[in-house]
Chains A and B, each alone.
Chain A
């Protein structure tokens, strides 16, 4: 792969070219937030609540200010910042907003909530200062579970949220659905609880902020997936205009959703920098990252499904409760998980009747943010368990039962009012099953001396939510579009902006490939500009598998516009007709004549008098892109083979196969990397990771000793097979590829474990799967 592999003649899209990001990252010459040092820079750390729920009686920082090396220490009252509030356009019975103060003001609502910020000459002194703070609490009874939150007479986390409920929506409710259930041949029920997880970017959150007198700007360098949204919230909190804040994003060590919301600490650190007129750096340490950062995924499902005797699914009736912790995140709100689950649950199956109630409850735990897949890993797991249970009840092979119910005719408009664009739902299932069969896993499964199970997961994933799709969620700020500005410089090199930004996804490479194809220049002549609110008109950042679908489309559209400009100028200079001008070999051909881009740029910048009438100087274009309709759906089938150890309850994944279809893969190696990494995170959720709390709301996983991130020993090699159903309405035929791996893995793993337990009569539906439960199931048998 040192040499680019071309997919088709001359095309960059589809080639696994060397990544532009690699040389600096491999040489240790990347620039992450903590690598930035500014003259006179100070270091912030936070005094954090040690109580899960309490009135804040007093915060005494006098001793803190006396600690050697401490420069300043501030409480909420000292900084006087506006709260962070995220809104949905929904009525009060469906949505209750929360005001998240930058520093806790009168109440603390989770252990780890920032109470005061300490600024010191180095991070060691900052921690010395934090230790010296004296905080007086009047403890209140904590709410530490979803059931506790909903219980009659439960203490309230927010006075304005009765029954601790922030979101409560009932959707769809197909007419006659109760009759469907009462008349059905078979009804199965799945009850599932999934563990709270941490998205866990290996680089923790962080910021360097300083006030620049010359630019009259607060310059904020932070590892955020959403720099423009950080700018808006920061400007609002500290009382500056948007143009007085510049947010840039350096190299970023992963995000996975945790960094696509606006945090409190970066605002507090920036406010301190503003007040002190000195650069302030805050780097979250791992203990805080594990206990006080945004979390995700703690959900409870009660789902019933009705089936006919021959295995046709007739209805789905679901209740979803998501434990969103102490506050709504900006901009998505606490609705992110229940609304995703409610809208999308029928998934790849032809479900004729559907009813769902989705709720977000608030508890005294660290708040939540979107995390790779957002609810889809959970509801896909639940629906795939539904099919496994129904298959057993009906005596039909589970794969065959799926085949009978998969959507096969596209476009398909579901009971959830979503129109699915074409995909390879059935083909991916067939290929996945065949692959495992050909590899001999089904015969190994029958070995009576071993406890082996095979599990599948079928799913599709809406990627590239456009403004319309997000508007359906009724967010008050509606993400969706992307804007790209492209410019060609004197020697014919190209720079192009994207409002998305890479934190591992390789935009510098893949976006350049897209431009390279549109303009006919090598991809290393294209520079991608990302993550800078001053240089990018507006952007929604990278999340929800939107970068290539939406950002890549905007980049392509801008490239085409620039190409048109180049053609127009060249046609004029060569005395030909614009219609006959074509981009070719790094220049424009008009009939038998050819002008290089450098020659055209020469005219556009240095000899503007030669330009055609009506064409201004310079070579630049702007284009935007939005996904109309319901977006585009990637799909995949995952197959997993596990072996259980009856002596310990241990689980080993013997084989993992992923058959995925994300339309046109811009860079197949990158797509595979996304799939593998996603699968690893899905396995982590199924088998290893959980953020637990005790009854007092104290977090029980403050280190990597307790929060068990799987290693190379636990994560298997993954065989990936590609199918390609190009998307008809994105510019490159691409669909999103960022989240699918994570979505399919929990279902495949859980189904495989249950398949291995098939002789025991025990079914396990909660994650992470307790090894003790496996041990006990096998012990009895």
Chain B
């Protein structure tokens, strides 16, 4: 059986004719060529496949692509500017050495991106709790937590800066 599915990924519309059993992560990677999202366990625990579905971090291995018609999907490919300039979160990961092999990194980035959008003022412990959603085998997690913490701080400072400027 083939299902027609219309997916919106990183703002772009795609029309697909796929088997309904194809998971979102397989469709992103192999039907759309967005290989930034990785596959680590296919049972929802490692988080390498974490993407944003309507802004919320979700496991793309536990969703059938057919289920998310009409939703806004965002993947790691949406973070950097078209010219390749990294966004502030990616920059923080690099500066804090929050990645080694880079395999868990896209999932960690999308987890953090979704979380910080919802919770701009998390404590370090809250960040640690959220990072505990995904597995990393290289870093020991500390530098990932620090990178997200630093990014949140910078975003708050930038926000404050904008407020100050608009007030003055």
In the complex, A touching B, CB below 8 Å?
Answer: yes
Report A's interface with B, CB cutoff 8 A: 1-2, 16, 18-19, 21-23, 25-32, 34-35, 37, 123-124, 200-204, 251-254, 256, 283, 285-286, 503-506, 669-670, 672-673, 676-681, 703-705, 709, 711-715, 717-718, 741
Within 8 Å CB of A28, what residues of B? 34-37, 75-77, 79, 106
Please state if B84 and A253 are interface contacts (CB–CB under 8 Å): no
Contact of B135 among A22, A35, A504, A711 (CB under 8 A): A711
Contact of A672 among B43, B97, B135 (CB under 8 A): B97
Q: How far is the CB of B128 from chain A (nearest CB, A)?
A: 5
Please state if B94 and A22 are interface contacts (CB–CB under 8 Å): yes
Which residue of the partner chain B has the closest CB to A741? Answer: B140
Is B157 positioned at the interface, with any CB of A under 8 Å from its CB?
no
Q: How far is the CB of A772 from chain B (nearest CB, A)?
A: 24
Q: Which 7 A-B pairs have the closest CB atoms?
A: A28-B36, A253-B103, A25-B102, A504-B101, A676-B140, A28-B76, A504-B100
Please state if A712 and B141 are interface contacts (CB–CB under 8 Å): yes
Please state if A254 and B137 are interface contacts (CB–CB under 8 Å): yes
Please state if B135 and A673 are interface contacts (CB–CB under 8 Å): no
Please state if A703 and B140 are interface contacts (CB–CB under 8 Å): no
Contact of A251 among B26, B96, B97, B102 (CB under 8 A): B102
- Cα–Cα distance between A256 and B103 once the two chains are bound (Å): 14
Within 8 Å CB of B140, what residues of A? 673, 676-680, 715, 718, 741
Contact of B143 among A26, A251, A676 (CB under 8 A): A676
Report B's interface with A, CB cutoff 8 A: 19, 21-22, 26, 29-30, 33-43, 45-46, 48, 75-77, 79-80, 84, 86, 90-91, 93-97, 99-106, 109, 128-129, 131-145
Q: How far is the CB of A663 from chain B (nearest CB, A)?
A: 20
- Cα–Cα distance between A253 and B135 once the two chains are bound (Å): 12
Q: How far is the CB of B148 from chain A (nearest CB, A)?
A: 10
Contact of A124 among B19, B41, B104 (CB under 8 A): B19
Please state if B45 and A680 are interface contacts (CB–CB under 8 Å): no
- Cα–Cα distance between A715 and B43 once the two chains are bound (Å): 22
Write 17 A-B pairs (CB below 8 A) sorted by A numbering: A26-B79, A27-B84, A28-B36, A30-B36, A201-B137, A203-B101, A203-B103, A204-B40, A251-B101, A254-B138, A286-B41, A504-B102, A670-B97, A673-B138, A679-B140, A712-B129, A715-B142
Please state if A677 and B43 are interface contacts (CB–CB under 8 Å): no
- Cα–Cα distance between A677 and B36 once the two chains are bound (Å): 23
> A202 and B135 in contact (CB under 8 A), knowing A28-B75, A713-B128?
yes
Contact of A253 among B38, B93, B142, B145 (CB under 8 A): B38
Please state if A27 and B97 are interface contacts (CB–CB under 8 Å): no
Q: A2-B95, A202-B136 are in contact. List 18 more A-B contacts (CB 8 A).
A: A22-B93, A23-B84, A25-B99, A27-B79, A28-B77, A123-B26, A200-B137, A201-B137, A202-B138, A256-B137, A705-B45, A711-B133, A712-B141, A713-B128, A715-B142, A717-B142, A718-B140, A718-B142
Please state if A680 and B141 are interface contacts (CB–CB under 8 Å): yes
Please state if B138 and A677 are interface contacts (CB–CB under 8 Å): yes
Please state if A26 and B38 are interface contacts (CB–CB under 8 Å): no
Please state if A34 and B141 are interface contacts (CB–CB under 8 Å): no
Please state if B135 and A25 are interface contacts (CB–CB under 8 Å): no
Please state if A25 and B105 are interface contacts (CB–CB under 8 Å): yes
Most chain A beta-carbon contacts within 10 A, residue among B21, B91, B142, B144: B142
Q: How far is the CB of B58 from chain A (nearest CB, A)?
A: 17
Within 8 Å CB of A201, what residues of B? 101, 103, 137
Which residue of the partner chain B has the closest CB to A680? Answer: B140
Q: How far is the CB of B78 from chain A (nearest CB, A)?
A: 9
Please state if A676 and B142 are interface contacts (CB–CB under 8 Å): yes
Please state if A202 and B76 are interface contacts (CB–CB under 8 Å): no
Contact of B43 among A704, A709, A717 (CB under 8 A): A704
Within 8 Å CB of B143, what residues of A? 673, 676
Which residue of the partner chain A has the closest CB to B93? Answer: A26
Contact of A504 among B19, B29, B138 (CB under 8 A): B138
Within 8 Å CB of B129, what residues of A? 712-713
Which residue of the partner chain B has the closest CB to A252? Answer: B101
Which residue of the partner chain A has the closest CB to B136? Answer: A202
> A35 and B94 in contact (CB under 8 A), knowing A28-B106, A704-B43, A712-B128?
no
Which residue of the partner chain B has the closest CB to A253? Answer: B103
> How many A-B contacts are there with CB distance less than 8 Å?
179
Please state if B106 and A19 are interface contacts (CB–CB under 8 Å): no
Within 8 Å CB of A25, what residues of B? 99, 102, 105
Most chain A beta-carbon contacts within 10 A, residue among B48, B95, B101: B101
Within 8 Å CB of B95, what residues of A? 1-2, 18
Within 8 Å CB of B39, what residues of A? 34, 283
Which residue of the partner chain B has the closest CB to A704? Answer: B45
- Cα–Cα distance between A124 and B145 once the two chains are bound (Å): 36
Within 8 Å CB of A37, what residues of B? 30, 33
Most chain A beta-carbon contacts within 10 A, residue among B21, B77, B141: B141
- Cα–Cα distance between A123 and B46 once the two chains are bound (Å): 20
Within 8 Å CB of B96, what residues of A? 1
- Cα–Cα distance between A680 and B143 once the two chains are bound (Å): 13
Please state if B132 and A704 are interface contacts (CB–CB under 8 Å): no
> A709 and B135 in contact (CB under 8 A), knowing A26-B105, A28-B34, A202-B40?
yes
- Cα–Cα distance between A77 and B135 once the two chains are bound (Å): 40
- Cα–Cα distance between A24 and B76 once the two chains are bound (Å): 11
Most chain B beta-carbon contacts within 10 A, residue among A285, A679, A711: A711
- Cα–Cα distance between A525 and B133 once the two chains are bound (Å): 39
Please state if B132 and A676 are interface contacts (CB–CB under 8 Å): no
Please state if B29 and A26 are interface contacts (CB–CB under 8 Å): no
Q: How far is the CB of A684 from chain B (nearest CB, A)?
A: 9
Within 8 Å CB of A203, what residues of B? 38, 40, 101, 103
- Cα–Cα distance between A35 and B94 once the two chains are bound (Å): 22
Please state if A711 and B132 are interface contacts (CB–CB under 8 Å): yes
Please state if B84 and A35 are interface contacts (CB–CB under 8 Å): no
Q: How far is the CB of A428 from chain B (nearest CB, A)?
A: 19
- Cα–Cα distance between A588 and B97 once the two chains are bound (Å): 35
> A27 and B86 in contact (CB under 8 A), knowing A124-B22, A202-B48, A677-B137?
yes
- Cα–Cα distance between A670 and B91 once the two chains are bound (Å): 16
Please state if B101 and A202 are interface contacts (CB–CB under 8 Å): yes
Contact of A713 among B29, B30, B132 (CB under 8 A): B132
Most chain B beta-carbon contacts within 10 A, residue among A124, A678, A717: A717
> A254 and B101 in contact (CB under 8 A), knowing A27-B79, A203-B38?
yes
- Cα–Cα distance between A299 and B75 once the two chains are bound (Å): 43
Q: How far is the CB of A1 from chain B (nearest CB, A)?
A: 5
- Cα–Cα distance between A501 and B45 once the two chains are bound (Å): 29
- Cα–Cα distance between A23 and B48 once the two chains are bound (Å): 18
Q: How far is the CB of B62 from chain A (nearest CB, A)?
A: 13
Please state if B94 and A26 are interface contacts (CB–CB under 8 Å): yes
Please state if A704 and B41 are interface contacts (CB–CB under 8 Å): yes
Which residue of the partner chain A has the closest CB to B139? Answer: A677
- Cα–Cα distance between A241 and B52 once the two chains are bound (Å): 48
- Cα–Cα distance between A253 and B46 once the two chains are bound (Å): 13
Within 8 Å CB of B80, what residues of A? 26-27
> A32 and B142 in contact (CB under 8 A), knowing A253-B38, A677-B137?
no
- Cα–Cα distance between A105 and B34 once the two chains are bound (Å): 40
Please state if B141 and A32 are interface contacts (CB–CB under 8 Å): no
